[in-house]
Structure 1
């Protein structure tokens, strides 16, 4: 009985043990299956996340590229707008200076005429007094001389009346001159006031921006620094405004002084290259950049003087000459322009037998005032004259600085050559930027002037406005009048327009006779008499 119970108990224990084993195996299989499924889900989630991340990164790059392109386009538009504004202001300033010079010339003429009129009035007063005495004496003689004939008495009387009439005419002429002088002065003041009024609302804005590319966006935070300390220290050290905006991998430097802007650009590049931007080393890097730019300025000046074989130049003149390397006007580099003017002036002086070295010197320094015009008040002509006088430059050089903008009369032919060379260098094709609007206006103005003359059929402006070809009606303009017409058009262009260099006016007159082979003309017969 006990054996039976034990065997049953063992049998049940084996069954239970087998069931437990089967359960454990099943549970293990289920657990393995669940782990495999979970791994697949995790892998799928990871793949989806990576895909979404790549898509978002691609969208971000596309968006950043679009913003960058938009910013560059806006930057170009602003530069073009600033250039157009600068051109307009320079044209108005030139017109104002021209009118001021005309007014000064008129005032000098009026002063000379006034002085001459005063002298003539004194002379006329003396003559009038003498003539009155003579007339009174002659009238007494006429009364005492009864032997005169009627015709002689009439002649004597008419002669006396003629003298009185002449005196009255002189007084009337003096009154007319005085009235004309007052009217001219009043109109001159009105012209000046109108010119100032037209110029008052304009402002000048040069291209004052430089850009520095960044390796990545992280550098923007380094440039700004904690609480903006780095960017403030950089602006104080360079005097240039730093603009950090949403434009990807780019910062903008803004400032009027081109030399300071170049120093800031080099300093910013060095800071980015060293990857160490902090308040402590900014001033040191800026000092190194300033020294580098200063060496570049001196080297540019020395190379230019060596190339032109000009010696005995004051250090201040040499430094400001080198600063022209970073100065642009209408897109033309001022140092290169000064070299061109120097070479042209020297070549013309050699042909005419003048001092070639002095001519090159005057041509090289004619725009020296533009090197300091960004930091001082006054026109570049005034600043250039002041600098040349301080450096004891030759009087012909000083006069060339004044005369090349017609602010003084030339005292030597070299001054005239400098003016001509300046116009050649600035007026040659491609030397300076010209906006499409200004170019279109100049071409249209040339054609309108030529078309305003009677007998002109059509006008074409060619060679970028350097030549106009005028086609005339052959029935109205004869061959001998074509030359006169070309001279009249050229004179009117000189009076009503300002342009560099010269413009050729070509008048074309032609008569075209044509017949067709189908036209019938009766034969001419000769009859015998």
Structure 2
């Protein structure tokens, strides 16, 4: 073999041999891997079998436990059911026993009812027999006897009731006046009010008589301006160092007085300054009125009063009646009415409110032909006051009938405040003479038998002779008497004239 061939064959043979060895090694490695995989597979199968057996064992144990638990619960339920059945059985036995007892009692009751029915029938027969016997003996039927008994009982009851009423009436007459006096005395003793009243002064003092000329001014300009702005009459006469202010309205009089005093103090007296001072004083007086109204309400503890009501009360501060300050009088009446209401069990707040407002008509700014009670009632109605308060104001001088006990209390309190010593300036002699003159004026007319002045001279009651004055002339006679009183007498407010004519026929049976 040539070397060239050898050089070729040997490498090829080496390559083939290497590939063969690698193939044999690969086959060997593959066989080892398959064997290893088979061993792993077998191990996994064995492990899975073991886990399966363990799981099955645990499941069996859990099943056994659940079965045992279920059996225990079933046993407990059966035991409870047996106890319940036992109680039900006992209750059924008890109900059966009670049912038997009730049946027995029903039979006994039925037997008693039958027996009682028999007794009632026997008693009815006996009663009927006795009734017939009584009717035969007395000679009256049952209805006649019943009517006779009822009539006798009724007569006896009426006699006893009348005797009791007479006794109560006698006791009431004996104690009523005493009790009323005790109530009034108790109420009066519990109140302590001022007895002095503020009086509006109409005289202004001057530092010298030279000031009179400055007040009059050139051609009377100053005094005319002051009179025009205030609505008063300023009287400058020979009275040394004094000027008199005259006006029926106390508020305007107070404004003029204060204004004049400030002008005198200031020294600058001319129309422009007068107008400025009067306007300023007017505002101050209006504020003073409101403050006095609020103070009165605060002192008495009265609330829920509108501004119109406060001003109406405050205006009374500048009003007087027979020298008695009307606001002080109204506060005093309110306190007395409150005490009286507490004594008799009436409404204290209502009585106090009505008493405070009873004279607000005296402070009315507008002129009216009505008396102050009617004006005050109308003012209270416009202010939205309670109808009971309005009635108490209208009735406090008997211009209308009082509709509540509080209205009567206001009348009594007003009389107490006005009649106490020191309250008013009118003396007893003047008061008596005024009433006597009032009665004598009425008695002068023909046909008048008697005349009585009542309600402190606010009402005149006249008894007319029915034989001399017929019915159609009574009204004309009342007008003539009223006109004569207006002409001859001086009196505050107005007087109510009541004519009374009656026919009395007396005959004797002999």
TM-score (norm 1): 0.44
TM-score (norm 2): 0.46
Structure 1 or 2, whichever has the larger Rg, is 2
